[in-house]
Structures are given as structure tokens and as C-alpha cells.
Structure 1
Amino acid sequence: MNDDDLGHEHEGEGERKGESPPPPEGDLSMLGAFVDDELPPDDRAALQARLCADPQAAARVAAYRAQKAALQALCDGALVAGERASPDDVPQAFDAAPSVLVLRPRAPWWWRAGIAAAWVAVGAGLAVALTALVPRLAPDLAPELVAGATPEAFARRADVAYAVYSPEQRHPVEVGAADEAHLVAWLSKRLGKPLSVPSLAEYGYALVGGRLLPGNSGPAAQFMYENDAGERLTLYVGASSTERGAVRLLRDGNRRTFYWSTDRMGYALSGPQTEPKLRAIALDVCGALGGKPGQW
């Protein structure tokens, strides 16, 4: 096989796999530094938050880690072989490391195109069939599947957002409380529904500000509060496929998140407080945002 054939072979493999264009060089460098534990703590935390919402980047990080582990295992095996050999045999010990060259026969382009078209047709047929069957087989689950998320997944996004931004000192929010009117108008426009910021003054918490975040199926908003002791709470808001859902609890380490839905909007209050205290605040916030006592 000559160089031209090898080049066509690589092109054929790329077509069969349906690879997307490579990400920017800076993005690859950052992911590599993340795998090698070379990122500053703030950058690492921000990238961890991004990986939760970017399956492609998360898959690339997993591939980098697997590649790193394989290379380390190969090098360790070669070093062990070198230690067992005499000084004159060290080059031969490293040469003994296995290497495999796999040559695949190249299929004609019309064959590859036909296979690809067949898979597209099969995928389209399955999508149509599932769309028709899911509401009949599981009517209670269908709205959640259409939205692409469950209430618990919504709560976990809120918990991750709290874990990422609540420790931040210099940039905890995008828009501060001094511009509360602008903050509420901006986030209401992005979420497509009028929002309001409940007051937590009676619990000793003042509004710090808020930011725009990615949600399960669209944009989400996060409002941050802080008390005199420096403790913080966050209220995470986003669209929900559920008309009305009861207040429930998600635990993660020393963090607690109470979440619910009202009028197809999901809400999640996260904080480090004990469950009874945070639950009391969550029920108060639920009522302030239109929730009914039946949800409690």
C-alpha cells in the first residue's frame, strides 16, 4: 500500500465514523491540561461545570484519560523489560514492545453511501415509532422524556451550579443586586417568562445578584443570596415539563437542594443549611412564587 492509499484509507475511516470538525487548538490544550491536573483551581472548577453540559468535551476528556493510562502501561512494561535485560540488550527490550499494523480493505464509496443511507432510514423510522408509542406505553413519563430531563436531573443541575458558584469571591454573579431591575428583566426575557426575586430578608439573607446558566432544555437563571456570616443560598429557575410538582429534597454531601415546579417552571433552592431550616425557607419561597400548600 502506497502513501496515497493510506491517505484515502484515513479519509474513508473519517467518512464512516462521521467525525465532526476538530475543536479549536486552545480548547484541546485546556482539556489536556485538565487531564494532567495543570489547571488553576478556578479554571478547573469552571471546566468541570462545563463538562456536565457538554457531552462531546466530556467524551474527549475520557478518551484522553484512557490514552494516558494506556501509554503509561506501555512505558511501564518497556521499563520493566529493560531492567531485566543486560545493558547491551536494553534497545532490544524496548524493541520487543508489541506493535500492530492493521490494514483494512477499502470499501467502494457507493457501498459506504448506501450503508449510511440505510442507517439514516432506520434511525428515522425508530424515532417516529418511539414518538408514537411512548405516550401510549408510559403516559406519565412521556412529558419528561419530551423535555429531555426529570425533576431530579433539574435538581442536580441546580446543585452543581450552587457548588461551582457559591464559593466564588470575585465573580459570584454576572449582574449584581444594585441592578436588580435590569437583572430580572434580562433573565425574564431569556427564559421567556416573567420572573420575580423573592425576599429572604426575614431569614437574614440579602440578594447578591444573579446569572444566566444552561438548563436541561434551554436557558436557566440562578439568583444568589448571602447572610452576614458569609453563608450563601441559590435559587435556580428554569422551564419544566411538569405543571405542578411537590417540594422534594436532593442530598449531595453537606449540600441540600429542595426543588419543585409551579405553572411549568422549575425551582430549586440550594444551600448548606440543616434540612429543617432550608425546608422552611424553600416552602416560603414556593408560596411566594405561586406554589400551593398542597405541594408541601
Structure 2
Amino acid sequence: MTAPAERRGQGAGIALGFAATIFWAFYNVGTAIGRADGFSSADLAMLRFGIAAVLLAPLLLLRHGWREALPLKRILALTVLIGPPFAFLINTGYGIAPLAHAVVISPGVTMLTANALSAFVDGRAVPRQRRIGIVLLVAGLIAIAADQPATPPSGTPAWVGDLCFVASGSLWGLFTWLVGRWRLPAIETTAVVSLSAALCLLPVYLAVFGVPDHPPKAWAVQALYQGVLGGALAIIAFAGCVRRLGAGTAALFPALLPPAAVMLAIPLASQAPGSLQWLGVVLASGGLLVSLDIMRRR
């Protein structure tokens, strides 16, 4: 690849990373709104995968060559990582812990997991600037974890929700690493995983949970947040970012979620962070900016 072409590829990767961050910010705030409106983890998970599958599955018929990159074993592995287990963990966490915890802990753990796998499994050196950024990110995670409400609104300690975000972030970090390692096509990967997850979840959802009686407008709003933004566009953009920039660098972008989601949450969800949460947001976001600086100079 020539230098101009490489720069264009990096520019496209950065643009996709920022786009994924914006989509995820709306998805995260929308999930918090959905839980507050009475949607269960199962409801939101079904919307996430069902809507994305309906939108993207037809594209599989129009595209060729994806079956070689996505054999059944890979599809099953990716479905386990970012399918129903991921959705249930993160949606459950939203019902327990504050939004500011979610948008720092989950993407922060994603960044740590993907970079650790790249370093220890693939043997890729982590640049000094990125190491500094990771230290700042960890400091932000500690600040967020220290902010535990004295009287949790849900009745469950906030740290239980934090553990859900740690687990979901670890799953997404492993997914990020595998997409880069296997060099998977963005749209096809998202479509296949969404379809697989929807087919696995639908019979369980109908048999065990059932469809609740929410207003049609609420269903439509959550379909937009969960299926269109979170389930389809965000994953397509992020997978494209991983393919162009590599797993380690792409995993930095979710750390932009804290300032984006917190700012959106103030007008949309009426959630204002406390001082410790703001400190965690600033530290985590600073860690991302420090880490990305080295990418622009390399």
C-alpha cells in the first residue's frame, strides 16, 4: 500500500471510529431511557438483534465471499461474545448502576482487553504514548468505581452493575481483537451475528419473557436506539475501523463514549454526573486523547 493510500485508509478508519462512538453514545443513553421506561434486559436485547437482523440480513444475499471469512465456528464464537450474553450483561447493568459508570467502565475494559490480547498473544508492542493513555484510563475507572451511591435507586449495590459492565467490556474487547485478527468484513459480520443472535434469542424470549404492553411510540424509539444505532450502524462502523486501524488502536475509540454519552444524558435522560463521575470521565477521555496522539504521529 502506498503512503497516500495508507493515509486515506487511516483517515477512513478514524472517521469510522468517531462515527461508531456517536452511534454508541445515543445507544447507551437510549438504553438507560429504556430501562427507566420499564423495558427489561430481554426486551432491549431482542430489539437490538431483531431489528439489526431485519435490516442487514438481506445484504448477505447481495454480497459474496463472506462465507469463507465467516465459517460456522467463527459465527458461533462471535455470537457468544456480542450476542445475547453481552446484551443481557450490559442491559442488566443499566438497571443497577448510573449511566456514567456504564460509559466509562465497559469501553474502558474493552480498550484494556483488546490491547492486552494484541500485546501478549500477537506480540505487538504497545507504544509508550498508548501506555500512558491506558494508565489515565485506569485512573478514570478507579474514580468511577469509587462513586457508589449510598442508597442505590434499584435497591441493588451499584458495584453489581459495575461488574456487569466489566464482563460486557471484556466480551467486546475479545470481539474487537478477533475481528482484527481474522480481518472480518464489517457489514457481513454484523449481519451474520445479528441474525444468529436473533434466531437464538427469539424462541426463548417468546416462551419465557413474552412481549410486554408498552406504548407503540416507546417501542419505536427503542427500536431506533437498540436496533438501528446500537445493533447495526455502530457495529458496522466499528468493525470497519478495526479492519483499517487494527484492534489495539480501534479499541481506543469506545473510550470517547464517556463525554459524548454524559453530555447526551443530561438533556435526554435527565442524568447529571457527580464530581467523582466527572473526574472519571475527564481522566478516561484524556487517556484516549493521549493514546490517539501517537497514532497520528506514527
Q: Counting strand residues as a fraction of each chain, which structure ranks higher?
A: 1
Structure 2-normalised TM-score?
0.25
Q: Counting helix residues as a fraction of each chain, which structure ranks higher?
A: 2
Q: Which gives a bigger RCO, structure 1 or 2 (Cα 8 Å, sep 6+)?
A: 2
Structure 1-normalised TM-score?
0.25
